[in-house]
């Protein structure tokens, strides 16, 4: 790599940033990011980044979404004022992505607000992964590269999950993702959809498609409280699935998700490392991790050299 | 009379202040739920119509969760904007990140400017704040910023003290740093009292005054006379309170009979309360720009002045398009 590129990281996911910079044969840039005693975020960039192509690695994820977002914004401000040539925010998991529409009267669209804040801070482009909805790219006035974990997930399925399979989308919104994977694996497709009685109460699940005597693979972009996931799993088992796996890009795993998973019939939950989760994985043997560091480092390398990114995802047959 | 109804909402930083302000304005706080999803994202639900209203969101961006409180404010503004509020005013009695207002080192951010940009990006039409750390911060915004001063409250407090406790005793207004001299002088002028300044000796000065190379990093220098007088320290922020303790110690050493401190914003990070309890300060007076009721129990020296009436009067005048400047007279 040339000497005009610099990788910096906040505190959200230092491990991923190290893997990415190792992939690129670069040392991680020197930056201190912490907090003053009064709770304000403090940022100090300790080496020159003048005229550099700077990449800030920072998922805006739990457990401190607002702190992680603020670190990213303040780092971008410091880097811009230090005369960097270009600033790219690498946000493997984009917090607030599900707050992307006015679902009730007087609701904010916080995903759009966050996009505005990112541009306001001086970020020139964004690299993210498996955005909850592709439309979020349209919230930005700057280029957004939405990478996909799909090739890695397909590779994992082929390598580790034997038997006749059916790809299951746990809701109507994710059918496109599930169909794309089922096409590439020459597997059947099934859909679970639900009528939602109250805001957080899931009931009345309906299965469309046949899972009898098959291995059911639930694919989704996010595993948060995992209530839906566990309910879907129980339904699939009751409908005759021999085993149920879940393959999810972002392992948010908030609340009592770990407990639910441990008590469920799910065989495995496969997530990528867009969000650090070593502590949670230690409490749940079912959790397996796909490493997406190389996908991100390759995207960064291509961005830096002005090469195509979409060709990263064009040959997964 | 404006056709746009006045509505007050608040986040989680300081609900008590909002209720007091609403009470001063003979109204109630509006209905909004501000919380967090399980994944720590901020969630805002506004439960009453804000269409075409003149909306005031009361939210200091203070410790212990500066970033969360800032985000609550921004998300509330976004929700209100999309719900067709006529005008949105952020009432931010304590402006977090205000001290990060200049590039003091190479490659430093100017986070206060970033925060100003974020507030405008969210859709805020104007800001009401109190005793900004530096007045230049108003220039960070492209929207109107009303910087309300606590000076009249402090002057009133000292005059009352003069009648009840100081009696015939002479007092002197003290600035604990070179940065705050202007503020202290304004108060000493109003009270027709003397002014003194405490500043830290810089290394060069200490070096030249001493034959050895060692010097006390905490050495303070007093300019002015406090002998036999009550010293009243005026400052805008009490954070770690180490400076306050050093200043009071120096003042007592130089002959002050008592030391009071009047500070606008009681941040009190780390073990500040212990430091105050151990110090020579007789009384530390702060406003309630930041909630501090919990600290009163730990520190009997702590007195809290309410700013609800000043803020509510400012809001009333903003709402009616009246002058705000004349509040200070």
Domains of chain A: 5-147 (3.40.50.2020), 150-291 (3.40.50.2020)
Of B110, B106, B111, B150, give the one whose Cα is nearest residue B130.
Answer: B150
Sign of the dihedral through C-alpha B116, A104, A199, A220? negative
Q: Is the pLDDT of residue B97 over 50?
A: yes
> Has residue B242 been placed in a domain?
yes
Q: Which helix (H) or strand (E) holds B152?
A: helix B151-161
Write the CA distances from B211 to A217, B78, B206, B219, integer angstroms: 79, 62, 10, 16
Chain B residue with CA closest to A118: the answer is B118
A145 is in an annotated binding site: yes
Please name the residues in contact with A55: beta carbons below 8 A apart, sequence gap of 6 or more. Answer: A5, A6, A7, A8, A88, A90, A127, A300
What's the total number of domains in chain B?
A: 2
Query: Are residue B15 and residue B111 in the same domain, yes or no?
Result: yes
> Has residue B238 been placed in a domain?
yes
- Tens of pLDDT, residue by residue over A266-312, are 999 999 999 999 989 999 999 999 999 989 999 998 999 899 988 88
Asked if the Cβ–Cβ distance from B269 to A77 is below 8 Å, we say no
Residues of A in contact with B109 (CB under 8 A): 43, 74-75, 77-78, 81
Q: Is B64 left (phi over 0), alpha (psi -120 to 50) or beta?
A: alpha
Query: Are residue B16 and residue B142 in the same domain, yes or no?
Result: yes
Write the CA distances from B149 to A211, B15, B153, B325, B327, integer angstroms: 70, 21, 8, 10, 9
When pLDDT is averaged across residues B46-57 and rounded to a whole number, the result is: 94
> Has residue B28 been placed in a domain?
yes
**Residue B323 banded pLDDT, cuts 50, 70, 90:** confident
Asked if the Cβ–Cβ distance from A69 to B111 is below 8 Å, we say no
Report helix, strand or coil for A64. Answer: coil
Query: Are residue B109 and residue B226 in the same domain, yes or no?
Result: no
Asked if the Cβ–Cβ distance from A106 to B118 is below 8 Å, we say no
Q: Are A192 and A206 in contact (CB under 8 A)?
A: yes
Instruction: Give the pLDDT score at B105.
Output: 77
Helices (H), chain A: 14-23, 65-81, 110-120, 150-160, 175-185, 227-238, 257-263, 278-283, 293-305
Alpha-carbon distance A94 to nearest alpha carbon in chain B (angstroms): 11
Write the CA distances from B237 to A214, B62, B214, integer angstroms: 66, 12, 31
A51 is in an annotated binding site: no
As beta bridge partners, residue A45 has A31
Of A68-72, B90-94, B169-173, the range with the lowest mean pLDDT is: B169-173
Q: Which two tokens stand for residue A54?
A: 């700077």
Strand A144-147: give its sheet, edge to edge: A5-9, A53-57, A86-91, A125-129, A144-147
Asked if the Cβ–Cβ distance from A81 to B78 is below 8 Å, we say no
Q: Is the pLDDT of residue A1 over 80?
A: no
**Residue A249 banded pLDDT, cuts 50, 70, 90:** very high
When pLDDT is averaged across residues B196-214 and rounded to a whole number, the result is: 54
As beta bridge partners, residue A202 has A196
Rounded Cα gap, residues B163 and A45, in angstroms: 53
Query: Are residue B157 and residue B301 in the same domain, yes or no?
Result: yes
Of B66, B69, B61, give the one whose Cα is nearest residue B36.
Answer: B69
Instruction: Give the pLDDT score at A216.
Output: 97
Of A36, A122, A23, give the one whose Cα is nearest residue A72.
Answer: A122
* Domain range for B79: 6-148
Instruction: Give the pLDDT score at B249.
Output: 87
Query: Are residue B109 and residue B254 in the same domain, yes or no?
Result: no
Chain A residue with CA closest to B109: the answer is A78
**Residue B213 banded pLDDT, cuts 50, 70, 90:** very low
> Has residue B317 been placed in a domain?
no
> Has residue B315 been placed in a domain?
no
Instruction: Give the pLDDT score at A3.
Output: 61
Rounded Cα gap, residues A296 and A37, in angstroms: 34
> Has residue B1 been placed in a domain?
no
Q: Is B104 exposed, middle or buried (0-12, 13-18, 19+ CB in 10 A)?
A: exposed
Residues of B in contact with A62 (CB under 8 A): 39-41
- Tens of pLDDT, residue by residue over B113-126, are 999 999 999 999 98
Query: Are residue B117 and residue B133 in the same domain, yes or no?
Result: yes
Q: How many CA atoms lie within 13 A of A66 on its CB side?
A: 22
Asked if the Cβ–Cβ distance from A108 to B41 is below 8 Å, we say no
Cβ neighbours of B1 (radius 10 Å): 4
- Tens of pLDDT, residue by residue over A67-123, are 999 999 999 999 989 999 999 999 999 999 988 888 778 899 999 999 999 999 999
> Has residue B161 been placed in a domain?
yes
When pLDDT is averaged across residues A211-221 and rounded to a whole number, the result is: 94
- Choose from B13, B34, B40 for mutation: most chain A CBs within 10 A: B40
Query: Are residue B80 and residue B169 in the same domain, yes or no?
Result: no
Helices (H), A121-263: 150-160, 175-185, 227-238, 257-263
Query: Are residue B154 and residue B284 in the same domain, yes or no?
Result: yes
Instruction: Give the pLDDT score at A205.
Output: 81
First to last CA, chain A: 30
For residue B131, the domain's CATH number is 3.40.50.2020
- Backbone φ and ψ of B189, nearest 5°: -60, -45
Instruction: Give the pLDDT score at A315.
Output: 53
Query: Are residue B160 and residue B298 in the same domain, yes or no?
Result: yes
Q: Which helix (H) or strand (E) holds A243?
A: strand A243-251
Chain B residue with CA closest to A255: the answer is B38
Rounded Cα gap, residues A18 and A9, in angstroms: 9
**Residue B209 banded pLDDT, cuts 50, 70, 90:** very low
Residues of B in contact with A121 (CB under 8 A): 114, 117-118
When pLDDT is averaged across residues B80-87 and rounded to a whole number, the result is: 93
Of B133, B19, B112, B31, give the one whose Cα is nearest residue B76.
Answer: B31
Query: Are residue B168 and residue B224 in the same domain, yes or no?
Result: yes
Residues of B in contact with A113 (CB under 8 A): 74-75, 78, 121-122
Alpha-carbon distance A41 to nearest alpha carbon in chain B (angstroms): 8
Q: Which two tokens stand for residue A145?
A: 């590269």
- Choose from A66, A139, A200, A228 for mutation: most chain B CBs within 10 A: A66
- Tens of pLDDT, residue by residue over A26-42, are 999 989 799 888 999 99
Sign of the dihedral through C-alpha B11, A100, A316, A89? negative
Residue whose token pair is 């009695």: B93
> Has residue B329 been placed in a domain?
no
**Residue A195 banded pLDDT, cuts 50, 70, 90:** low
Query: What is chain A's mean pLDDT, rounded?
Result: 90
- The rounded percent of chain A whose pLDDT value lies above 70 is 95
Q: Which two tokens stand for residue B285?
A: 């007076």
Query: Are residue B118 and residue B157 in the same domain, yes or no?
Result: no
Q: Are B54 and B86 in contact (CB under 8 A)?
A: yes
Query: Are residue B133 and residue B234 in the same domain, yes or no?
Result: no
Using DSSP, how many helices (H) and how many strands (E) does chain B show? Answer: 10, 14
- The rounded percent of chain B whose pLDDT value lies above 90 is 64
């Amino acid at each position: 790599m040339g000497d005009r590129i610099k990788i910096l990281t906040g505190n959200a996911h230092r491990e991923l940033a190290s893997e990415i910079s190792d992939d690129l044969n670069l040392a991680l840039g020197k930056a201190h990011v912490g907090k003053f005693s009064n709770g304000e975020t403090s940022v100090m960039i300790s080496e020159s980044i003048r005229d550099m192509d700077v990449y800030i690695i920072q998922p805006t994820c739990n457990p401190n979404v607002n702190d992680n977002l603020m670190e990213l914004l303040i780092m971008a401000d410091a880097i811009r004022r230090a005369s960097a040539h270009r600033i790219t925010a690498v946000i493997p998991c984009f917090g607030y992505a599900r707050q992307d529409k006015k679902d009730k009267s007087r609701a904010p669209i916080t995903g759009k607000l966050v996009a505005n804040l990112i541009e306001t801070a001086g970020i020139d482009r964004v690299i993210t992964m498996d955005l909850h909805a592709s439309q979020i790219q349209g919230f930005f006035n700057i280029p957004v590269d939405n990478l996909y974990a799909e090739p890695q997930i397909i590779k994992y399925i082929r390598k580790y999950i034997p038997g006749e399979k059916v790809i299951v989308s746990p809701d109507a919104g994710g059918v496109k993702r599930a169909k794309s994977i089922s096409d590439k694996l020459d597997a059947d497709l099934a859909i679970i959809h639900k009528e939602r009685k109250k805001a957080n109460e899931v009931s009345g699940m309906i299965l469309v498609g046949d899972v009898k005597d098959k291995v059911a693979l639930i694919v989704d972009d996010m595993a948060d409280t995992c209530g839906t996931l566990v309910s879907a799993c129980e339904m699939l088992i009751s409908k005759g699935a021999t085993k149920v796996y879940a393959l999810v890009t972002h392992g948010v795993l908030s609340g009592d998700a770990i407990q639910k998973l441990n008590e469920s019939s799910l065989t495995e939950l496969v997530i990528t490392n867009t969000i650090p989760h070593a502590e949670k994985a230690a409490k749940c043997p079912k959790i397996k991790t796909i490493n997406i560091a190389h996908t991100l480092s390759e995207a960064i390398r291509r961005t830096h050299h002005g090469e195509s990114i979409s060709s990263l995802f064009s040959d997964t047959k | 009379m404006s056709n746009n109804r006045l509505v007050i909402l608040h986040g989680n930083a300081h609900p008590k202040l909002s209720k007091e302000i609403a009470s001063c304005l003979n109204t109630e706080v509006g209905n909004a739920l501000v919380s967090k999803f399980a994944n720590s994202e901020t969630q805002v639900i506004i439960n009453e119509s804000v269409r075409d209203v003149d909306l005031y969101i009361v939210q200091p961006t203070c410790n212990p969760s500066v970033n969360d409180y800032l985000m609550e404010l921004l998300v509330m503004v976004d929700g209100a904007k999309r719900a067709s509020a006529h005008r949105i005013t952020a009432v931010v009695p304590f402006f977090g990140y205000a001290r990060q207002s200049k590039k003091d080192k190479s490659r430093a951010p100017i986070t206060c400017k970033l925060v100003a940009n974020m507030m405008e990006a969210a859709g805020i039409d104007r800001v009401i704040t109190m005793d900004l750390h530096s007045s230049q911060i108003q220039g960070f915004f492209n929207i109107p910023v009303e910087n309300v001063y606590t000076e009249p409250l402090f002057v009133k407090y000292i005059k009352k003290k003069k009648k009840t406790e100081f009696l015939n005793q002479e007092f002197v207004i003290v600035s604990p740093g070179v940065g705050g001299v202007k503020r202290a002088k304004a108060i000493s002028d109003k009270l027709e009292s003397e002014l003194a300044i405490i500043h830290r000796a810089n290394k060069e000065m200490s070096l030249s005054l001493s034959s050895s190379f060692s010097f006390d990093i905490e050495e303070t220098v007093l300019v002015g006379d406090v002998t036999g007088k009550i010293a009243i320290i005026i400052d805008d922020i009490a954070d770690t309170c180490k400076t306050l303790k050093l200043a009071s110690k120096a003042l007592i050493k130089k002959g002050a009979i008592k030391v009071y401190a009047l500070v606008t914003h009681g941040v009190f990070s780390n073990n500040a309360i212990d430091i105050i309890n151990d110090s020579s300060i007789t009384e530390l007076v702060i406003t309630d720009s930041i909630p501090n009721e919990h600290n009163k129990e730990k520190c009997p020296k702590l007195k809290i002045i309410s700013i609800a009436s000043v803020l509510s009067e400012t809001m009333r005048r903003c709402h009616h398009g009246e002058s705000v400047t004349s509040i200070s007279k």
